[in-house]
Structures are given as structure tokens and as C-alpha cells.
Amino acid sequence: MIGFTLKHFRYFDALARMGHFGRAAEASGITQPALSAQIKELETMLGAPLVERASRKIRITTLGEEFLARARKVLTDVDEMSELARKPDGPLKGRLRMGIIPTVAPYLLPEIIRRLSVALPELELRPRESVTQSLLDDLMQSKLDFVIAALPVSEPSLREFALFDEEFVLVRSEAFAHKPVPTPDRLQEMKLLLLEEGHCFRDQALSFCDIRSSDPSLLMEGSSLATLVQMVDAGLGLTLIPEMAVPLEANGTSVTISRFHKNKPKRTIGMIWRKTNPLEKQLMGLGASIRQIGQAQRDRLTG
């Protein structure tokens, strides 16, 4: 019998993700020689190479790609079986790995942590902030238990649980405080500041304004909503931000915030998890709690 171990699978998965022996070893918490030895041992058992080694990066062979898909399936199954020990019918406790997008995290995450620390004292929430696609990749590979992001993601293997809707608001220089709110087609002609590529909020803003992301003459980019608002404050253009970001990002600036009157742009924020997760019942309950938190924040902003 071939002596594969979960360590073999995890080390090869890390190597495939990092594309480099040194970075994969660091991510796995072992030395590079130790990781190289494990991969070599795996290749010896299979009788063929899994990677093509070069001076700076590695390439996964055809066999390696097939083996990787099967190894990741095993790792996912093992991770989900381990969740069975957490009593699916009882309250959530222990470590729970959460992903959350950058245009939600600073405005919602502190309140989530504060409320859950009281309601579920035995729960150890481990949040990670990143762009949607990166979080979904980790969710699919069982590196996260659930994700908070904009819906829909339209992945058949994932469950989507809507939390709340929120509108986008227009951020302009204070000099425009008494000017009419421009229509979406008017925004096409203005210097629009948006998040850099990879952020779903960027795509939602472009869709509302009916602008092609390939037209760089209309766009300026920032790495965060805070950067965009500061750029507006400096007179470099205008931007859209979600309404939950207004109290934090507009504080201390001389920008003016305006709401759209017709065809209001908005997004749906939701929780996402694997349909096969045995904690689905508990995650539904957690989603209901987070929905209340998000709705309360929205009511404070619009009340």
C-alpha cells in the first residue's frame, strides 16, 4: 500500500499555491529542506515527478495537477469530518475561520466581534480580510468556514445567505454641496475614483455608471475606500462608497455626501459557506445574528 499521509497532501497543496519551495515551507511552518524532502518522497511513491523545478519558480506537471485535485478533495473531506466533533446541534464554539471583504470589514467586523464575544463566549472567531475571489478560493479549499461578501457569487457548491442591502452614496468636494446629484450617464464624463481591480465594489460602481473598466481615461484608482475619500478631499475627483463607510471615512474631511434619487445603486451583503459544511444549521443562526447587527447599523445611518 502506498503510504500517503495528510502531511504529504498539505505540503504539496502549499507548494502548488505558493509556486515556490521557500514560501511554501514558510507557510507550512517547516524548513525548505524538510518540505523538499516530503515532496521528493511523494514523487518517489508515485514513480513520477509532480513538479518541474526551476531556479525561481516551479511548474506543476500534468500528473501533479491531477494529484492536486484529488489531494485537495481529501483535505476538504478531512476538514469537514473534523467539524462533526463540534456538535452541530449545540452553540458554536472553538475556532471559526471567517473571510470578509475590505469594503465591509472596517465598518461591520468590530461590532460582530463585540456582539459575538458576549453571545458566544466559547467561540474563537478568526477573521481574514481579502478580496472576494481570494476568499472564495480559500472557502472552496476548506481554509475558511464562511465568508461575508457581496452577493451573488453563483457557485453551485456554496450556500448564500443574504444579510442586508445597502446603498452607495456619492462623495464630492465640499464645493459641490449644493449642486444636483449627477445621473449615471453624467458620471461617465467625470473623473471617477475607484478601487483597484480585484475589488467587487469597483465592478458594482462601474456597472452603475455603465463604464468599461478598460477605459483608463475616465478612472483613477485607490487601494482602499479611505484613500478614495482622501483623494476626493484633495480635489482629484469624485467617488462612490457604501453607506456603512460614511461615518468612518468622511469624518475629519471636507467632502460632501449625496444620495441618488432614482435608480439607486446598492449591493446585497451576505454570508457564504460550503453546502457540505456540517455546521450549516449553526451558520444559519450566526447569519441571523449578523443580519440584525448589519440592519441596526443601517437604521442608524438612514434614521
Domain boundary at 40, 61, 84, which? 84
Query: 27: domain CATH number?
Result: 1.10.10.10
Whose cell is 471583504? That residue is 101
Query: 145: domain CATH number?
Result: 3.40.190.290
Residues 267 and 138 reside in one and the same domain: yes
Domain boundary at 84, 109, 144, which? 84
**Overall average pLDDT of the 13-21 stretch:** 88
Domain boundary at 29, 54, 84, which? 84
The pLDDT tens digits of the residues spanning 196-214 come to: 877 788 888 888 877 665 4
- Listed range (145-149, 166-170, 263-267) with the worst mean pLDDT: 263-267
- Residue 129: pLDDT above 50? yes
* pLDDT score for 218: 54
Using CA atoms, how far residue 224 sits from 168, 221, 227, 234, in Å, is: 15, 9, 5, 16
**Overall average pLDDT of the 86-112 stretch:** 85
- Listed range (43-57, 158-172, 280-294) with the worst mean pLDDT: 43-57
Residues 263 and 205 reside in one and the same domain: yes
Residues 52 and 154 reside in one and the same domain: no
What's the pTM? 0.73
**∠ at Cα 294 (227, 297), nearest 5°?**
75
Residue 191 included in any domain: yes
Residue 157 included in any domain: yes
Residue 193 included in any domain: yes
DSSP 214-258: T-GGGEEEESSHHHHHHHHHTTS-EEEEEGGGHHHHSTTS-EEEE
* pLDDT score for 72: 84
Residue 1 included in any domain: no
> Average pLDDT of the chain?
86
Q: Which residues pair with 73 in a beta bridge?
A: none
Domain span at residue 216 reads 91-303
- Residue 83: pLDDT above 70? no
* pLDDT score for 1: 39
Residues 199 and 71 reside in one and the same domain: no
Mode of pairing for the β-strands spanning 266-274 and 146-151: antiparallel
Q: What single-letter DSSP state applies at residue 191? A: -
* pLDDT score for 160: 97
Report how many domains make up the chain.
Answer: 2
Residues 43 and 139 reside in one and the same domain: no
- Number of CB atoms found within 10 A of residue 30's CB: 16
Residues 38 and 106 reside in one and the same domain: no
Residues 183 and 262 reside in one and the same domain: yes
The pLDDT tens digits of the residues spanning 28-64 come to: 889 999 999 999 999 898 889 999 987 677 889 999 8
Q: Judge residue 271's burial from the number of C-beta atoms within 10 Å of its C-beta, 0-12 exposed, 13-18 middle, 19 or more buried.
A: buried
Q: Where are the alpha helices (DSSP H) in 104-144?
A: 105-119, 132-140
The pLDDT tens digits of the residues spanning 235-278 come to: 988 999 999 999 999 998 999 999 988 888 899 999 999 998 88
Residue 302 included in any domain: yes
Residues 60 and 140 reside in one and the same domain: no
